[in-house]
Chain A
């Protein structure tokens, strides 16, 4: 059972464009939603995270939008740059305890110069 569905699998964007990656979850108990960025040959690294008490969180060119009623959240990368080319993973988890996040399957983003 795939608890976190991520789309698209791959995304090609021109430099300066907006990259949008979407995730949907099923478990209404999830209360922490991080996004990870992974460059080839490296481990994932936390990019930005949101809790469901806010509908949007922005850090630089990266914004998470959160829709609790629809059980969806998305990552927007504004003014996409070639250096943003990476694989992005969304995740969802229940805060507390051993904290076991459920990851989406990832989106490979390519930003053309």
Chain B
């Protein structure tokens, strides 16, 4: 494993509540990514970060926000969770010299 942890690993929440998922890395990598994985859709990028306080949107960013105040932590927030955000969320990291992304173990989020 590439030193990536995600918390929580599982979460059930109700529609309309805020949810924050955390990605923590010990590799000091510059790039961090949040993906969601849904059956039939593969991996879709939500947001990514290319440095502390530097973030940008991916293809499915609506309803999500991110923050990166430290190199090691990348937070994904659902301001008001909806059932369509039920998914498995993966964080990934990448060092600047390599094109290999290392993925975390995932967080399974269920919005009821």
Chain A residues engaging chain B, CB cutoff 8 angstroms: 6, 9, 32, 34, 41-46, 49, 89, 93, 95, 98-101, 103-106
Knowing A89-B42, A105-B42, say if A43 contacts B48 (CB, 8 Å).
no
Residues of A within 8 A of B103 (CB): 43-45
CA distance A101 to B106 in the complex (A): 18
Could you say which of A43, A44, A99, A106 contacts B99, with CB atoms under 8 Å apart? A99
* Residue of B with least CB distance to A105: B42
In the assembled complex, the CB of B106 is this many whole angstroms from the nearest CB of chain A, namely 6
Main secondary structure on A side of the interface with B: loop
A81 to chain B, nearest CB (A): 23
- Distance to closest chain A CB from B94 (angstroms): 6
Whether B45 pairs with A34 at a CB distance below 8 angstroms is no
From A6, A32, A100, contact of B45 by CB (8 A): A100
